[in-house]
């Protein structure tokens, strides 16, 4: 048993006992000039190469794509959201149906988040406005739909309207029932427009919540799941470093970078760098909710191993298709210029799912409000991102990441 860390944090006492026998993270190549690396992440549902991209199956389904179509697009790993699933259909139901893998038919590696982010982002108070880009006066730790206490947080279900409490213990228990391979500690996703003092207090609470998650996790631990700790600390160097040190000091299987990342590229980069400085990078590190193509190129250099973001399928629903080398990453297929374009979206790529169709046809499907349009673009975007990640891994090994970035971002 070690001494408690400064700051009066509750110290998780059984550190040495928590191991992950069915999981592994092996670094296969380390760049000499940056933290960029390739690795192999092993889970009970398969092994993936890193850096990799985790696609969002929010409500236990990728929007408009079946598991078969995800595999056709060469997907390695997906995630589902605890918040949505605990409300509908409920964690007990999914457990009864054999867990998320059996329920959804996705038999590869899977991750769940803790539910915290959605609780803090889906209300109509400051946290939601923060995430939605609206600034307003801050009333810390509370909005009209959600309240945070030391025990956890309370919010109203958007499905039933009833009041629901989510705690480190219940988030952990729910994620155990869901049965994903990788899961996240319960934390508060601290907003931007709060004081440094609030950010510090929120971070420390998330650390205490993290210890409670570890304790609850150990109680259920059968070796089939692995827990990630989340670095908080907002845009403040001392807090990020302090939070990272906490994560490093605890027996998490993986690291995640979360919380407020600021409003500028520089703030985001700093927040990541300070976090990564303090983390144990022999553990896999996930970047929560970030995943534009430019982000992938920027943050693999800081050592990020996995990304997740809803945008590949969300963009698809709005008619935006990723094209390698296009400025802004996507084209809008609804643009009139594609009305009579007989070419596929990207003939240079081996994308059988979308190369089957002309841009003119996909344009027509969007004009005609045919669901097939978003299905085609969703599969296209997922396939392009998976191709991106394969090329990124190869470029890291070859030392050609700068050149690849120029190819993709059209700079």
Of the pair 119, 244, the CB lying nearest a second copy is at 119
* Short-list 314, 287, 326, CA closest to 382: 314
Of the pair 156, 201, the CB lying nearest a second copy is at 156
CB of 64 to a second copy, least distance (A): 5
Positive/negative CA dihedral, 132, 137, 141, 144 = negative
Residue from 35, 37, 45, 84 binding a second copy (CB under 8 A) = 84
CB contact burial 353-375 (16+ within 10 A = b; e otherwise): bbbebbbebbbbbbeeeeeebbb
Gap between the Cα atoms of 79 and 184, Å rounded:
11
For residue 65, state whether it binds a second copy (rule: CB under 8 A). yes
Residue from 5, 9, 59, 71 binding a second copy (CB under 8 A) = 59
Residue from 39, 51, 67, 179 binding a second copy (CB under 8 A) = 67
Q: Which two tokens stand for residue 354?
A: 């979308």
Distance of CA 242 to the CA centre of its chain: 22
Q: Which of 113, 211, 295, 305 is catalytic?
A: 113
* Short-list 306, 40, 20, 45, CA closest to 180: 45
Gap between the Cα atoms of 324 and 46, Å rounded:
29
CB of 1 to a second copy, least distance (A): 44
Which part of the chain contacts a second copy (CB under 8 A), choosing from 57-65, 196-204, 302-310, 384-392?
57-65
For residue 368, state whether it binds a second copy (rule: CB under 8 A). yes
Which part of the chain contacts a second copy (CB under 8 A), choosing from 86-94, 136-144, 193-201, 254-262?
86-94
Query: Could you give the count of Cα atoms lying within 13 Å of 266 in the half-sphere of its Cβ?
Result: 0
Residue from 73, 256, 304, 376 binding a second copy (CB under 8 A) = 376
Gap between the Cα atoms of 13 and 211, Å rounded:
9
For residue 17, state whether it binds a second copy (rule: CB under 8 A). no
C-beta atoms surrounding 233 within 10 Å: 30
For residue 358, state whether it binds a second copy (rule: CB under 8 A). yes
Residue from 371, 394, 398, 403 binding a second copy (CB under 8 A) = 371
Gap between the Cα atoms of 339 and 358, Å rounded:
10
For residue 206, give every residue at least 6 positions away whose Cβ sits within 8 Å of its Cβ, in sequence order, or none: 185, 186, 187, 188, 190, 230, 232, 243
Gap between the Cα atoms of 210 and 280, Å rounded:
17
For residue 375, state whether it binds a second copy (rule: CB under 8 A). yes
Which part of the chain contacts a second copy (CB under 8 A), choosing from 92-100, 118-126, 191-199, 285-293?
92-100
Of the pair 34, 88, the CB lying nearest a second copy is at 88
Q: Is 124 a catalytic residue?
A: no
Which part of the chain contacts a second copy (CB under 8 A), choosing from 98-106, 184-192, 224-232, 302-310?
98-106
Catalytic residues: 113, 308
Q: Which residues bind a second copy (CB under 8 A)?
A: 59-68, 84, 88-89, 93, 96-98, 103-105, 339-340, 342, 356-358, 360-361, 363-365, 367-368, 370-376
């Amino acid at each position: 048993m070690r001494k408690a860390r400064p700051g009066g944090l509750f110290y998780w006492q059984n550190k040495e006992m928590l191991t992950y026998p069915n999981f592994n993270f092996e670094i296969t190549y380390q760049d000499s000039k940056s933290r960029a690396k390739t690795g192999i992440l092993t889970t009970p549902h398969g092994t993936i190469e890193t850096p990799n991209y985790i696609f969002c199956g929010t409500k236990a389904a990728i929007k408009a794509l079946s598991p078969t179509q995800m595999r056709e697009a060469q997907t390695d790993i997906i995630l589902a959201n605890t918040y949505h699933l605990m409300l509908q259909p409920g964690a007990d139901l999914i457990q009864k149906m054999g867990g998320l893998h059996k329920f959804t038919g996705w038999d590869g590696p899977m991750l769940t988040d803790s539910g915290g982010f959605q609780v803090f982002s889906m209300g109509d108070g400051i946290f939601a406005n923060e995430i939605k880009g609206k600034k307003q006066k801050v009333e810390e730790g509370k909005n009209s739909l959600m309240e945070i206490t030391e025990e956890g947080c309370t919010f109203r279900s958007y499905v039933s309207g009833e009041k629901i409490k989510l705690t480190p213990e219940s988030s952990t228990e729910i994620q155990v029932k869901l049965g994903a391979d990788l899961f996240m500690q319960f934390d508060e996703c601290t907003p931007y427009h709060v004081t440094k003092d609030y950010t510090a207090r929120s971070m420390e609470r998330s650390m205490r919540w993290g210890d409670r998650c570890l304790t609850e996790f150990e109680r259920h631990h059968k070796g089939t799941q692995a827990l990630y700790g989340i670095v908080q600390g907002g845009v403040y160097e001392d807090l990020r470093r302090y939070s990272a040190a906490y994560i490093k000091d605890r027996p998490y299987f993986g690291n995640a970078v979360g919380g407020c990342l600021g409003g500028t590229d520089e703030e985001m980069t700093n927040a990541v760098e300070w976090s990564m400085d303090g983390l144990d990078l022999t553990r896999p590190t996930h970047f929560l909710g970030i995943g534009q193509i430019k982000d992938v190129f920027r943050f693999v250099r800081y050592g990020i191993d996995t990304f997740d973001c809803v945008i590949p399928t969300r963009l698809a629903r709005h008619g935006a298709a990723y094209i390698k080398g296009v400025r802004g990453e996507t084209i809008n297929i609804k643009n009139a210029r594609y009305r009579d374009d007989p070419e596929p979206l990207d003939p240079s790529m081996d994308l059988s799912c979308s190369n089957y169709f002309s841009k003119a046809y996909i344009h027509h499907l969007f004009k005609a409000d045919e669901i097939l349009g978003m299905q085609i673009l969703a599969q296209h975007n997922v396939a392009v991102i998976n191709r991106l990640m394969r090329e990124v891994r190869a470029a890291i090994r070859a030392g050609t990441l700068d050149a690849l970035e120029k190819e993709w971002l059209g700079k």
